[in-house]
Chains A and B, each alone.
Chain A
Amino acid sequence: MTFLLRRFVFYVVTAWAAITLNFFIPRMLPGNPVQSLINRYQGQLSTDATQALYAMFGLDKETSVWQQYLDYWGNLFQGDFGLSFTYFPTPVADVIEQSIPWTLILVGVSTLISFVLGTLAGVYIGWRRGRWTDSLLPVGSFFSAIPYFWLGLIAISVFAVAWPVFPASGGYDGAFIPSWDPDFIWSAVYHGLLPAITIVVSSVAGWALGMRNMTVTVSSEDYVTVAHAKGLKERTVMFGYAARNAILPNISGFALSLGFIVGGTLVTEIVFSYPGIGYVLYQGVSSKDYPLMQGVFLIITLSVLVANMLADLAYAALDPRTRQEG
């Protein structure tokens, strides 16, 4: 249990750090984007919204930073991220709430598929080191060097423009209203396929490479040799002895690289104009909607923390050493 407890404390600290960072970034940076923004939106923003912005970005010289910090926390606990400019006067929290299911499903499903496929491929390639499968490695490194968004551009130009089998953008057919209607769900799945395939193709090689290297390293351990010597079946040795040990670093790697992956997939959403959180972030960036950007950053960070915690639970389940006391 100490392992899980330690990890839990770590996540609490990280969440605190992220939230505090989010508070200080607009205050520490030079220049005053918010002031110019308020001037630009003069007349369109209500007094309340202007006041909220002042408080949020520390332009309110009357109150001390400490008091601002406390207010900021108070607002957060009420789920109040301020008002969005782009979708004025919708609160940021509502905008995020609408977009988050799309991202969770798209990014969640495609990342899991890519992790499982990549890990299996890595075990196989690592086990049969020195065969033709090794020549897949340079191809794999080429694919993992491609930015997600560029692969998305290519996918659109091939499968949506030149050979229109998939829709080029959006998360569902504009004729539908989001609901649990089967037609709508089918439309959403159909729109999600191309972005999902893009994410899987560009990330699978990374998992495969990591797993391959771990399998190669583990396969010369003594316990693998002993398992061979006992005359166990190749499959048993491969999965029960080598892969089982090789996967541990890959799982902690999974947790640690989630941040990178999420970053990449957000940009994929932008390319496909997919109605997820990445696209919302993009709209926030292009219209200088600071409350929206900050809210999105917080939500992304907190979701990555939760995903990390789940990966830790999986790690604890797989590695008995973490369950030992002391």
Chain B
Amino acid sequence: MAAAPTTVDLPVETGEHGITPKKGRGGRGAWTIFRNRKAIVGLSILGFFALIAAVGEFIAPYDPNKVSSTLMSGPSGAHWLGTTNTGQDIMSQLIVGTRGVLVVGLLAGAIATAISVLIGVTAGFVGGVGDEFLSLLANVFLVIPALPLIIIIASQLPEAGGTTVALVIAFTGWAWGSRILRAQTLSLRRRDFVEAARANGESLWRIVCFEILPNLTAIIASGFIGTVIFAVLSQITLAFIGVTSVSTWNWGTILFWAQSNQALAQGAWWWFVPAGLCIAALGTALTLINFGIDEFVNPRLRTTGGSAKALRAKRIRARVGFTPVYRAPAEKRGED
């Protein structure tokens, strides 16, 4: 048994102990993603924000709009993250504003993903002139700078509330996902199982929905999350430059008021630092989930941090392009 050198795949499970791949890996079902450390961290942070978004009004210590006599004061026991120049509590604004950020982000992401699936899969599956036209459409939207386009659309709308902003962002942000989906559909279109389904006389809809789409799940998911990141950033930028309604709270609105009331010059860091950190934390969480999906789809990308350490301990050098070979210790080699 031990006579043959054990070959180790470089991207083994990132377990700390040992380099032997686990026996019976329990299949590669969709739930494998929850064993990825990056995805777990990302999902936990996202869950935390989602919780705050759901119960925001109930746990916020103050009414975010309520002015008080504590003006422009730094963090204290009464106001954990300080107050604005009119004495509003910044932590309450952050907590209440979470819902707006998440709802618009997820809504825009969902709509944009729906459009990209529709256009990308159709383009890839139909081929020919239809494909040329739809790809051209996607590429045009990809090349036109999205943010200025969003700005000029949103600033000409009479009422730029949450849903409107989500629609505008979705309208400009679907192209990237559709491009990737089209490429993947093209490569699936001629696979044997699709040909088999076609030979069976299955309808076009059945082939697309039951043969093609399930194979695109991971890409659709990662495109969705990428769009949510884009939507969150765009929406916060819009609020920050004052294009959208400044009366509803989101993290960008806080930054808008901080900027327009000279928080920077007065050194009121508690006013603009927490909102930015929240944006970065949410963005990082979404990026980590996406890394998890990417590594699930493309095992070559898995970081070998833990197992590289284990390899080195066994004096195996992990080199690019080579499969590390684990030579069984000499005394074991004799036995059989």
Contact = CB atoms under 8 A, between A and B. Distances in A.
Instruction: Tell me whether A and B are bound partners.
Output: yes
Interface of A: 10, 13-14, 17-18, 21-22, 25-26, 29-31, 33, 127, 129-131, 134-135, 137-138, 141-142, 144-147, 149-151, 153-154, 156-157, 161-162, 168, 213, 216-217, 219-221, 224-225, 228, 242, 255-256, 258-260, 262-264, 266-267, 270-271, 281-282, 285-286, 288, 290, 293-294, 296-297, 300-301, 304-305, 308
Contact of B139 (A14, A150, A271, A294): A14
A157 B269 contact: yes
Interface stretch (B56-64, B208-216, B238-246): B238-246
A150 B252 CA distance: 10
Question: Interface of chain A, helix or strand or loop or mixed?
Answer: helix
B328 interface: no
Interface string B302-336: 01110110010000001111100000000000000
A162 B300 contact: no
Interface residues of B, number: 64
A143 to B, nearest CB: 8
B34 interface: no
A235 B173 CA distance: 40
23 contacts: A13-B136, A31-B157, A31-B158, A33-B156, A130-B308, A135-B305, A145-B280, A145-B282, A147-B236, A149-B240, A154-B273, A154-B276, A157-B267, A161-B264, A259-B142, A263-B146, A263-B147, A263-B148, A270-B241, A282-B241, A285-B242, A286-B242, A305-B143
A226 to B, nearest CB: 9
B291 A141 contact: yes
Nearest to B282: A145
Shortest beta-carbon contacts, A-B, top 5: A145-B283, A263-B147, A130-B308, A31-B158, A150-B276
Contacts of A305: 143
Interface string B138-178: 01101111111101110111100000000000000000100
A38 B111 CA distance: 36
Nearest to B233: A147
A262 B145 contact: yes
A170 B140 CA distance: 34
B153 A17 contact: no
B245 to A, nearest CB: 14
A41 B319 CA distance: 70
A112 to B, nearest CB: 18
Contacts of A224: 320-321
A30 B301 CA distance: 48
Contacts, number: 193
Interface in B248-307: 255, 258-259, 264-265, 267, 269, 272-273, 275-276, 279-280, 282-284, 286-288, 291, 294, 298, 300-301, 303-305, 307
B15 to A, nearest CB: 14
A294 B153 CA distance: 10
Interface string B171-204: 0000010000000000000000000000000000
A308 B156 CA distance: 28
A18 B144 contact: yes
Contacts of B237: 147, 149, 263, 267
B153 A29 contact: yes
B288 A266 contact: no
Contact of A217 (B38, B144, B300): B300
Contacts of A13: 136, 140
Given A213-B294, A297-B152, 16 more contacts: A25-B152, A130-B308, A138-B288, A142-B280, A146-B283, A147-B236, A150-B272, A153-B258, A153-B259, A225-B322, A258-B143, A259-B144, A296-B148, A297-B148, A300-B148, A304-B145
Given A14-B143, A18-B144, A161-B265, A30 B158 contact: yes
Contacts of B294: 213
Contacts of A151: 276
A288 B287 contact: no
A260 B146 contact: yes
Nearest to B137: A17
A160 B207 CA distance: 60
A225 to B, nearest CB: 4
Contact of A228 (B149, B259, B321): B321
A25 B156 contact: yes
A21 B276 contact: no
Contacts of A157: 264, 267, 269, 272
A245 to B, nearest CB: 13
Given A142-B284, A270-B241, A285-B242, A33 B158 contact: yes
